[in-house]
Each structure stands twice: as C-alpha cells, then as structure tokens.
C-alpha cells in the first residue's frame, strides 16, 4: 500500500492514561510501523489557561468561530463558553500552521469537537466518534457533515451520530477499539490473587460509589478474603474515600491513584475480576470501554453495565448488571462470578476465542484501509 502523510489531531494522549489516549498512541505507533509519515497535534483542553502555546490573538475571532454559536451572549458569558471559544481559536491557528508545513494527505480527528482544526480545509479528513462528545451542537455537526468518513468505536456511538446526521449512514464505519495484545498476553499467566479491580477516571458516570457499596454487601467469607483496588484519580475521589471510611471498609478497599502503564498491567494481571459499571450522567455514556478488553487480554472475566458501548466491549467474556445503580445487583454478580467456578472458567474460555479481534495491528490496518478509500476518492473528485 502507498505510504501517506497523516496528521492526527487529538485532545487525549498519554500521559495521562485513558481509553482514547491509549487508542491514539497505538494508532500513531502502528501507522509509523507501517511506514507512514505521521504528525500528531495534541490539544489537551483541560488546562487551557496554562497552555504554553496560548497567544493573545486566540482571544479574538477566527474564521472557525465566526458563527452564531460563539456570539450567543448566554454562551459566551459562561466560563466554559469563553474557554471553548479561546480553545477553538488556538486549535484553528496551530492546525493551520501545521497543515501548511506538513501538507498531509489526510487528517484524522480523534473527536468531532476538534472541528476547528479542519475548518474550511480542503484536505480530506476522517473523524472518530466515541460517545459523550456526540451532541447536537455546531462544532460537532460541522465535523460530522464535512468528514469524508466517520469512524465510530461502537454501534452505540453510531446510533448517536445518526440521531444528529441521519443522511450520513453510508459514510459511517464501526471499528472497535483495540490494544497491544502481545504486550498484555505476556502477563496472562501471572499469579492470580484474591483481588477485585476497577481502573477508570473517578468521575460520576463511572459509578464507582455503587461498586464500593456493593463490596460492603458481599458475604463475610468473600469480604474477609478479597481486596478491592480502585486505580485512577479524578474529582470524585474524596467522595469515594469518605464512603469507604463511612462503611468501615478501610481494610478492604484501596485507592491506588494514577499508576504507570506497567503498574496497571501488573495489577490487572494479578487480579481475579475486573468491574466497571458505568452509568448515564447528563450526556455522558461509556463509548466502548477499552479497559474491559485489557482485562480480558490478561485472562480475567469482567463485570459491566448495559450502558453505552460496554456490552459490545464485554461480549460473552463477562456479566452485565441489570441495574448498575443498585449495589445489591452488583454484589450479586460479584458473588456469582467468584463462587461459580464453572461460570468463571467458561467466561475465561470465551475470552480466548474473542480477544484476537481486538489486536491493535488489525485495528490499524482497518483504519489504514479507510485512509486509502478517502484519499483515492478525493483524488478522483479533484481530477474531475
């Protein structure tokens, strides 16, 4: 296959860790291994006030923000509105500079709200859609309407896209997230300890509070012999620590905070069960849940909710909780999986049969194929 110049634009890249950050990093490295020339722009908007590349000119309108969406006083008077305005001006300016220097064959947006990086740009682009960012506002609509192709990480995400742009069904491809299976499989035979583990950003939609409450409801013989590790950090941590203290679970529940990739893999590999029962919060849902795949790759069954794209990630390699907001329901599933050896082993066998489809090498090849289709079509249209 011909080698391309590819510009990836993202707002999630390690560090810190996270599903989209992992996806982006693996894609970048995989494309380079295939011989493509890859440049990456990372616009982490979480700390826009401290962003080193922020200029005075970013506080003034650019072509990308000359739209009624950004001139609405009720929007602009909000701190978040002003931040988004400045952020999109910065993204527009920095992206234009890089596009002029690099002259890519294709641009890949890792989220649709990065629209300003391709605003009025004549280079074809692919946009990846997850879940919580797929909302019916101007920046997202622009990306969905102008993208040459739309990549959704789950059918759940695809349906959200179609609710906004129903006429783009033919331009949507669903390709599940993937991981470096070779790296994780090396740890599959690690000694399993009596550990239950959750790895996620500690925010409301991850629903960790109800998992902690479920731990308290487990039978004494399980509670006595098992430890529950919470890996990750976020705004909910203090609240979660209070719940642990209030339920007198200090000897059962342990907060590990942010850990390195190697530490994360080691903790997963030594655990017997992974659990993450995400719920809906405002417009936020679990787009896929790449950490479910990481857990299955080291050979452990998982428990999740029916929310968002989680069922697609879990498949037949775990259990789905009927009501993720009910600690009793969560506790019942934990107890079942830890006491029913036949069920546990059957799920472990299912994992071995399904996990191969989530190899990052296959994922990169599928994305590469989309690039080729988009670039070839663009050349045909340009020459006609």
Domain boundaries, the chain: 5-178+359-383, 181-358
What is the rounded distance in angstroms from the CA atom of residue 363 to the CA atom of residue 138? 30
* CATH 3.40.50.2000 is right for the domain spanning 181-358: yes
The contacts of residue 151 (CB under 8 Å, 6+ apart) are 126, 127, 128, 129, 172, 173, 174, 175, 367, 370
Topology alike, domains 5-178+359-383 and 181-358: yes
Continuous segment of H or E residues that includes residue 228: strand 227-231
- Secondary structure, 3-state, 33-90: HCCCEEEEEECCHHHHHHCCCCCHHHHCCCHHHCCHHHHCHHHHCCHHHHHHHHHHHH
Question: Measured between alpha carbons, how far apart are the two ends of the chain, in Å?
Answer: 24
Q: Over the chain (384 residues), what is each successive 10-residue block's mean pLDDT?
A: 94 82 92 97 72 85 94 82 92 96 97 96 96 92 97 95 95 93 74 94 96 97 96 96 97 94 92 96 85 94 94 96 96 97 96 93 96 92 76
pLDDT number for residue 29: 95
How far, CA to CA in Å, does 372 sit from each of 88, 146, 148? 29, 18, 11
pLDDT number for residue 295: 95
How far, CA to CA in Å, does 334 sit from each of 264, 277, 360? 21, 12, 30
- Angle between helix 208-216 and helix 327-339 axes, rounded to 10 deg: 60
pLDDT number for residue 287: 86
What is the rounded distance in angstroms from the CA atom of residue 151 to the CA atom of residue 225? 44
CATH number of 5-178+359-383: 3.40.50.2000
pLDDT number for residue 232: 94
pTM tops 0.75: yes
pLDDT number for residue 51: 65
Nearest 10 degrees: Cα torsion 17, 21, 23, 28: -120
DSSP string for residues in 92-112: HHHHHHHHHHH--SEEEESSG
pLDDT number for residue 47: 60
């Amino acid at each position: 296959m011909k080698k391309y110049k590819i510009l990836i634009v993202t707002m999630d890249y390690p560090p810190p860790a996270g599903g989209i950050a992992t996806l982006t990093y693996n894609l970048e490295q995989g494309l380079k291994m295939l011989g493509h020339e890859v440049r990456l722009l990372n616009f982490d908007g979480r700390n826009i006030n401290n962003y080193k590349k922020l200029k005075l000119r970013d506080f003034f309108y650019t072509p990308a923000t000359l739209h009624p969406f950004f001139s609405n006083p009720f929007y602009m008077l909000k701190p978040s509105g002003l931040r988004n305005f400045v952020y999109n001006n910065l993204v527009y300016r920095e992206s234009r500079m890089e596009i002029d220097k690099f002259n890519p064959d294709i641009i890949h947006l890792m989220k649709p709200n990065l629209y300003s990086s391709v605003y009025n740009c004549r280079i074809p682009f692919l946009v990846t859609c997850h879940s919580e960012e797929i909302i019916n506002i101007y920046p997202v609509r622009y990306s969905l309407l102008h993208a040459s192709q739309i990549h959704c990480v789950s059918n759940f995400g695809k349906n959200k896209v179609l609710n906004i742009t129903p006429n783009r069904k033919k331009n949507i491809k669903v390709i599940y997230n993937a991981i470096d299976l070779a790296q994780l499989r090396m740890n599959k035979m690690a000694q399993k300890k009596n550990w239950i583990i959750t790895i996620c950003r500690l925010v409301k939609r991850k629903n960790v509070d109800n998992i902690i409450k479920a731990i308290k409801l487990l039978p004494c013989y399980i509670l006595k012999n098992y430890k529950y590790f919470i890996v990750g950090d976020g705004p909910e941590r203090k609240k979660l620590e209070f719940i642990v203290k209030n339920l007198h679970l200090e000897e059962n529940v342990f907060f590990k905070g942010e850990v390195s990739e190697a530490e994360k893999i080691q903790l997963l590999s030594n655990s017997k069960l992974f659990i993450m029962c995400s719920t809906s919060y405002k417009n936020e849902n679990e787009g896929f849940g790449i950490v479910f795949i990481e857990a299955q790759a080291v050979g452990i069954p998982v428990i999740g909710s029916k929310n968002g794209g989680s069922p697609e990630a879990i498949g037949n390699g775990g259990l789905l909780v009927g009501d993720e907001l009910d600690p009793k329901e969560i506790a019942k599933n934990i107890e079942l999986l830890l006491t029913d050896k036949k069920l546990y082993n059957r799920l472990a066998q299912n994992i071995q049969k399904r996990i191969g489809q989530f190899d990052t090498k296959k994922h990169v090849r599928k994305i590469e194929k989309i690039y080729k289709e988009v670039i070839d079509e663009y050349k045909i249209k340009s020459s006609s």
